[in-house]
Structure 1
Amino acid sequence: MTQFSVLDLVTVREGSDVSEALADAAALAQTAEKVGYKRFWVAEHHGSPGIAGGATSVVLAHIGHATRTIRVGSGGVMLPNHNPFVIAEQFGTLDALFPGRIDLGLGRAPGAGQVLAQALRKDLHRAAEYFPQDVVELRALLTGDLELPIMATPGLGAKVEMWMLGSSLFGAQLAARLGMPYAFASHFAPAHLDAALEAYRTQFRPSEYLDKPHLMAAMTMIAAETDHEAETLASSHEQAFVRLRSGDPGRLPPPIPEYRATLPMQAQAMLESLSTAAAVGSPRTVAERVERFIARTNADEIIFSGATYDPAARRRSLELAMERIAA
């Protein structure tokens, strides 16, 4: 049976601030827990005034304290920005605080442009080349399956569930080779979805941590009482995406009815290309589109992304969707 989870970017709205964004994220996680979602993930992004999840492990501690049972984790930590030892300590600490609830999703992208490399004083291109070795080292720091010259404390022995994230074939092939569960970012890279899933499943090698492929796929999901209401709510997310792709990221703007009709054809086509991994509409519409997506991917889990300007609208969206898809 397919399970459902939530991906949150800790969105900062126009007219709001980071403190409110963090409070909104905690309230969203509490709603997700209450209505039966399995996981609540936060993604590492940098240099965007509209996203407050950059200090991912700190945000996860905040979410963990606001909840009791839902799994919390990274979707993901961009490992080239860090070193494996520090991440092992951070997530070992999280596991000690919230035993049996911590996920560690790992990505290879830096989460921002070249200016981030300068800010971090790192050669991120070179660091990305070492990503496979760093994943193996990080896993060993947590599990002790390789002899390393130093022990991570906290870290060693932590029951952290490690995931590989990706939006291309690289992550799929690496997850398969290492015998890890795999999460594909189809909500913003749907063109590579089918090829990545095929590569992961056909190349998967069982490991002592996972005996068969386990796949999560991401969707943009916004539910409301009617299709028109949901589409209007989704226009905030769409505006933010268009601005990001245009090199002008900012805080999440208020919704605009019939927003797509105001865009040039190129921008409309860009948004339309994402619709194959999106479910926006009434509960019935959302359930139908989620069902079609599951039939296409045969995913073990679906994780829902998508932001609304009114935080209460997204909380209600999670409730409406789960009421229908779990029926």
Structure 2
Amino acid sequence: MTPFSLLDLAPVSEGATTADALHQTVSLARHAEALGYRRYWLAEHHAMPGIASAATAVLVGHVAAHTSRIRVGSGGIMLPNHSPLMVAEEFGTLATLHPDRIDLGLGRAPGTDGRTAQALRRNLDVTDNFPADVMELLRYLGEPQPDAIQAVPGQGTRVPVWILGSSLYGAQLAAHLGLPYAFASHFAPPALDAALAAYRETFRPSDDLDRPHAMVAVNVFAAGDDAEGRRLRTSAQLAFANLRSGRPGKLPCPVEDISAHVEPAMLRVVDQALAVSATGGPETVRRELSAIIARHRPDEVILTGQIHDPAARRRSFEIAAEVMADL
């Protein structure tokens, strides 16, 4: 069986509040734990009315405190927005409170627009400091070094660090550092094959990992039948179209006919972005997940799904867990 995990953006649905979204995140995490999901990751986004996970480390701690076994982490922390020392202290604290349950996935993008990135006090220099920042963070989480700055808590916790990416860049960095790699195929699939190949072919063993470990992100919109699965998917299609049009908002209600709401050219862009998906009833989801796994041979799959109704979202992840357990 391919291990399976869950990526949550803490969606704020139309007609709901941010408080509702955060409550549903805890409920879903408990549900995922009971269903056998290995990890529950949360993603950092800013100035997005439909995403409630901006303070990612805070939410990771909240979810970890309300669960008992499932690993909880970031998918990911956008490192250019933060000081490596502060990230080490935050996740070192989390790992101290919840031993052997915390993951730290790192991304290179700001997770927002340019104006908000400036408000985050990012270093907007064109120089790419991501590799150096990752290595600095790894030092803070490793064993103490003489006369070096220490992260307290953090030093010696060896929180598992993942590199996230949607291009060859992250794959090559993860391979060079000997770290696990997660590809954002749930919204940016074009480079998936090339990135996985680059990661596996150039991987260098490290003290943390002796062989490549690649995770692939997959959208799941599962329901009782194919028609309902396709209807649930329309919320994600509408949200993506709104984002690409410069109108981010709360997660829309599903519609019966997506073509009546999104222009053909935009719909093609959206469907290309959502190409790595399993949509429909249990048998269709089984067939599509099986095909994705057979093609890409991931060491782990992380499932996500922007579904408007929390009950339908929980049921989708139930169906997905049943399918994954049988594959």
TM-score category by the smaller chain?
A: over 0.9
Q: What CA deviation, in whole Å up to 9, does each residue of 1:212-252 have, x standing for no partner?
A: 10000001111100011111111111111110111110011
For 2:17 and 2:139, how far apart are their aligned partners in 1? 39
**Equivalence for 1:89:** 89
AA in 2 matched with 1:325 = M
* CA–CA distance in structure 1, aligned partners of residues 168 and 124 of structure 2: 20
Alignment partner, residue 256 of structure 2: 257
The residue identity in structure 1 corresponding to 2:111 is G
What is the rounded CA distance, in whole Å, between the counterparts of 1:118 and 1:79 in structure 2? 14
Residue 163 of structure 1: aligned partner? 162
Q: Which residue of 2 aligns with 1:70?
A: 70
Residue 276 of structure 1 deviates from its aligned partner by 3.3
Q: Provide TM-score, normalisation by structure 1.
A: 0.96
AA aligned to 1:311 is P
Deviation of 1:319 (Å): 0.8
Task: Quote the offset at 1:122 in angstroms.
Answer: 2.7
In 1, Cα distance between equivalents of 2:318 and 2:125: 41
Equivalents in 2 of 1:170, 1:222: separation in Å? 29
Change (3 A) 1:130 1:148: farther
SS in 2 for 1:190: coil
Relative to structure 1, the CA distance from residue 144 to residue 228 in structure 2 (aligned partners, 3 Å threshold; closer, same or farther) is same
* CA shift digits 1:122-170 (9 cap, x unpaired): 33354x6111011011011001276562111100111411100000110
CA distance in 2, matches of 1:133, 1:8: 28
Is the Cα contact below 8 Å between 1:80 and 1:124 reproduced in 2?
Answer: no
Q: Are residue 59 (structure 1) and residue 96 (structure 2) matched?
A: no
Structure 1 Cα separation of the partners of residues 277 and 123 of structure 2: 35
Q: 2:236 aligns to what? A: 237
Match of 1:136 in 2: 135
One-letter code of the match for 1:90? E
Q: Superposition pairs for residues 106-185 of structure 1, below 5 Å?
A: 106-126=106-126, 129-144=128-143, 149-185=148-184
Q: Distance in 1 between matches of 2:147 and 2:271?
A: 48
Deviations, residues 21-61 of structure 1 (Å, cap 9, x unaligned): 11000111111100101000000000111111110000011
Structure 2 unpaired stretches of 5+: none
Contact 2:81 2:121 in 1 (8 A): no
Structure 1 residues 144, 159: CA separation in 2 closer, same or farther (over 3 Å shift)?
Answer: closer
Deviation, 1:202, is 0.7
Shift of 1:286: 0.8
Q: Give the partner amino acid of 1:324.
A: V
Instruction: Give the aligned partner of residue 278 of structure 1.
Output: 277
Matched letter for residue 135 of structure 2: V
Aligned pair count reads 326
User: Which whole-Å CA distance do the structure 2 matches of 1:294 and 1:148 have between them?
Assistant: 47
SS at match of 1:217: strand
Distance 2:15 2:125 in 1: 36
**Contact 1:100 1:159 (C-alpha < 8 Å) held by counterparts:** no
Do the aligned partners of 1:81 and 1:124 also contact (CA within 8 Å) in 2? no
Asked if structure 2 preserves the Cα contact closer than 8 Å seen for 1:168 and 1:192, the reply is: yes
Aligned partner of 1:203 in structure 2 is 202
1:314 is matched with 313
Write the distance in 2 (CA, Å) between the matches of 1:146 and 1:234.
50
Residues 181 and 148 (structure 1 numbering): CA distance in 2 closer, same or farther, change over 3 Å? farther
Distance 1:232 1:132, change over 3 A: same
Q: State the SS of the aligned residue for 1:2.
A: coil
Tell me the CA shift for residue 261 of structure 1: 4.9
Which residue does the alignment assign to 1:267? 266
Q: Taking structure 1 as reference, are residues 148 and 193 closer, same or farther at Cα in structure 2, changes over 3 Å only? A: farther
2:26 alignment partner in structure 1: 26
Q: Where in structure 1 are there 5+ consecutive unaligned residues?
A: none
1:97 is displaced (CA, Å) by 1.4
For 2:4, the aligned partner's letter is: F
User: RMSD of the TM alignment (CA)?
Assistant: 1.4
